Amino acid sequence: LMKVAYIFSSNYSHKLLENMIIPQLENDCHGADVAGMFFFMDNTFLIMEGTETGTRLQALQEKTGMLLMGCDQCTNERGITEKLIPGANVGCFPNLYACLGSAGGVDQVITL
Asked whether the beta carbons of 69 and 95 are under 8 A apart, the reply is yes
pLDDT at 101: 87
* Residue 109 buriedness (CB in 10 A; 0-12 / 13-18 / 19+): middle
pLDDT at 106 over 80: yes
How many Cα neighbours within 13 Å face the side chain of 68? 26
Q: For the whole model, what pTM was predicted?
A: 0.95
Q: Is pLDDT of 105 > 80?
A: no
Question: 54 vs 10, 25, 34, CA distance in Å?
Answer: 18, 14, 16
For residue 1, the model assigns a pLDDT of: 87
* Pick from 9, 64, 69: nearest CA to 42: 9
Report pLDDT digits (tens) over 76-88.
Answer: 999 999 999 999 9
pLDDT at 50 over 80: yes
Residue 108: C-alpha distances to residues 47, 77, 91 (Å): 22, 29, 20
State the pLDDT at residue 62: 96
